Structure 1
Amino acid sequence: MNTRPQDDGVRPVSNRIVEAEVETDVETDVEVDAEGDEPDGERPVAPANPDGFRLGGEPPRVMRLSRKALATLGLLASVGIGGALIYALQPQNHLPAENLYDTNSRNRADSVNGAPANYGDVPKLGPALPGDLGGPIVAAQRGGQNVPIPPIGAAPAAGQPDPRIAAAEQARERAAQERDSARTSRLFLAGETGTTDSRSATAVGPAPSASIPGADPALPSAPTATSSRRAFLDQRGNRSTESPERIMRLASPYVVQAGSVIPAALITGIRSDLPGQITAQVTQNVYDSPTGRILLIPQGSRLIGEYDSEVAAGQNRVLLAWDRLILPGGQSILLDRLPGADAAGMAGLEDQTNYHWGNMLKAALISTLLGAGTELISNGDSDLIRALRFGTQDTISQTGRQVVQRQLNVPPTLTVRPGFSLRIIVTRDLVLEPMPAGGTR
């Protein structure tokens, strides 16, 4: 049996909410119609003011340059630069410079002032005079004596020599003496010694410097570049077309001939501040020169030598010389100072170079500070204080210059580290003995 719920006046909550909304809409429509604004249509909603919803401030405004202004400025700058270039490249009409030195009033030599002004004023020459007698005849005529002029080409008197022949003989003798003096001069024999010096000293006599006042006769004249070149050109070459030397037989089959290279490496380092000895070790086997199969210098042999500590300014290579070779069995041979070279065959070794720039800069800084300190002189100082300061300034300046000069005279320090690869150039044949074990390859 179906039972319907009785309507006791209680409605659901959702129904009541819908009815309330409908009533509110009806009341709103009635109020709008009562006011008479827009009873038939909908009222437009005004836009909300965005200032109330803004969270931050206004962004900064960006100032932009005008393209027209930039183009105008660029055009004006280009025109100005172009005009300046055109003006600078145009040739300028320079006025002739005024001569500050008057050449017309310059001093002239007395010989020029006393000379004739033109060819018309040149004195006429008289008759020709003989060469040797011309001077005495003219002197006698100026003294008022009447000396007859002998005709040129006339035969001399009996028993008198012909003056022309005598003059020619004197000229030949003079030329021969000049040649002998030039041949025996010390200027061209500066490099020769022994009998040549004694012969030249006997022929020429005392040295030229002995006749010069103030010269020291004990010091020889320094050779110049011109004299050395002239001496080289005056040297006489060998006129023989055949060499006197002949083929020499091989001294021994166990020989390392000249021109061979012994590779080695340094055991001790090199520093050019002081002279010293060096040792090296052969790094590769060296075989005989005729066949190249017999082992003569095995790997591990020791080399004894020395290096040159005399280093010039700007030098960066150390000169080596090897004196002795010690084989593994205890045998040794003198090497007669064989030269050392690097791996490329260039003389000497180059590794590290210290030019002492730090010490030089320190010396220059000290000299500058000393000189600047002495320059601070007050105008109110007395004459005595000024004199003392000037004297101190000269002394300190001279001391600073000496300090800098001493550092400039310090030669660079050359350093070659141990293990540096090198080569020994054989300049004379080395006769050795084959190694007993593993002596051939």
Structure 2
Amino acid sequence: ELSAEEKLRLAAFRQEQEALAAPTPIRGGSSLAGSPATTPLNDVLQQVGSLASLLGARKALGSTDASANGLAPARAQSQTDKDYDQQNEQSRKQMFMEQTRTRTVSSYLKSTRTPPLGKYELKMGWDIPAILEQGINSDLPGEVKALVRSNVYDTATGKYLLIPQGSRLVGVYDSQIAYGQNRLQVIWTRIIYPDGSSINLDGMMGQDIQGMTGFHDQVDNHYKRLIVSALLTSAFAAGIELSQRQSTSLLTTPTAGQTASAAVGQQLGELGSEVTRKNLSIQPTIKVPVGYRFNVRVNRDILFEAPYTPVEM
């Protein structure tokens, strides 16, 4: 079997023979002045080099095409990962875990045991039991009031009456309800004693009797309004369509009635879509009735000068 060099020589010899047999003359060993001398072997080597360059370019182009073809799946996978992370927030959870692990925490707290400032204290974490004196509807913002339903005593001994039963609580509720929300956030700002004296609470949270934040009772997601509007729109559009005689021929020009019914049906469809969109934008309504039982969670220590006794004017 011939070696690679012998094959090149044989190819050069054949090319030279073909050139000699051709009607146009070829250059011999001499060349024109000022131009480099060329030989058939050099021509063959140049052709082989050009072929190798062409193959390399095709290979590079193929890899580029492969990369371009794989770009779309990569982008789709990236978008899927992004949607998953936005919905489940796994990256934030991973970051929280890493920050917790790397956080430098002292083995000792900076504060020590602090004695109470007085005998008449209601400490953080205690509850003030209460009952709603009025109903709540979250469609509009407003204030709310309630009554303390049982006596509240000091934290340390439980002997000193600090807030008597029948004291009035005043607060506000958050009327901005998110989609899917079923609890109403209520903040209590003041206690008014039966004798007219009062204490500012600076925004203490209302909780249900199970200790969960917010009031939960009746939730109206307005599904009935949404379904009824969609059904009515569909019924009107279908009635107008059925009231017109249907033509079985494609060559028949639509009558004026058919054209009018098509236009009315289109308008009703657009109207139904707009009404449905507006109904979907309606926030849920949370209603809490009169007599709802709840607790006000004390979030800061409350210091009293003395047990409760009515103030004489």
What TM-score does the superposition give when structure 2 sets the normalisation length? 0.62
Q: 1:260 to 1:242 in 2, by over 3 A?
A: same
Tell me if 1:434 matches 2:300.
no
> 1:352: Cα distance to partner?
2.3
State the Cα deviation string for residues 311-358 of structure 1 (Å, max 9, x = none).
233333221110111122322221121111122222222222333344
Whole-Å separation in 1 of the counterparts to 2:124 and 2:132: 22
Q: Which residue of 1 aligns with 2:273?
A: 401
One-letter identity of the residue aligned with 1:402: E
- Structure 1: give runs of 5+ residues left out of the alignment: 1-141, 144-222
1:361 to 205, 227, 231: 227
2:191 matched residue in structure 1: 325
Aligned match for 2:163, one of 297, 305, 320: 297
- Distance, in Å, in 2 between the alignment partners of 1:424 and 1:393 is 56
Query: Residue 350 in 1 paired to residue 216 in 2?
Result: yes
Structure 2: distance between partners of 1:226 and 1:343: 33
Deviations 1:103-132 (A, max 9, x none): xxxxxxxxxxxxxxxxxxxxxxxxxxxxxx
Indicate which of 375, 378, 387 corresponds to 2:245. 378
Q: 1:417, CA displacement in angstroms?
A: 1.4
- Checking the alignment, whether the CA contact within 8 Å between 1:296 and 1:433 is kept in structure 2 is no
Aligned-pair distance for 1:389? 4.0
Give me the CA root mean square deviation: 2.5
CA separation of 1:434 and 1:300: change in aligned 2, threshold 3 A? farther
Alpha-carbon distance in 1 for matches of 2:195, 2:306: 11
TM-score when scaled to structure 1?
Answer: 0.45
Identity %: 35
Q: Please tell me whether residue 273 in structure 1 is matched to residue 139 in structure 2.
A: yes
CA contact (8 A) 2:163 2:308 kept: no
The one-letter code of the counterpart of 1:401 is: S
How big is each residue's C-alpha offset from its partner over 1:36-55, in whole Å with a ceiling of 9 and x where there is no partner?
xxxxxxxxxxxxxxxxxxxx
Give the aligned partner of residue 233 of structure 1: 97
After TM superposition, give the deviation of residue 388 of structure 1 in Å: 4.8
2:152/2:164 contact within 8 Å kept:
yes
State the distance in 2 between where 1:339 and 1:410 align.
26
Q: Residue deviations 1:222-262, cap 9 Å, x none?
A: x9424423432342323422222222231222110011111
- Whose Rg is larger? 1
**Higher fraction of helix:** 2
| Matched residue count | 218
Contact 2:173 2:186 in 1 (8 A): yes
Letter in 1 for 2:168: R
Letter in 2 for 1:378: R
Find the residue that maps to 1:228 and give its secondary structure.
helix
Unaligned runs of 5+ in 2: 1-48, 51-84
Alpha-carbon offset, residue 384 of structure 1 = 6.7
- Kindly indicate which of the two structures has a greater share of residues assigned to strand: 2
One-letter amino acid of the structure 2 residue matched with residue 275 of structure 1 = P
Partner of 1:410: 282
Deviation track 1:398-431 (CA, whole Å, cap 9, x = no partner) reads 2112212322332232211112211111111111
Higher relative contact order (CA 8 A, sep 6+): 2
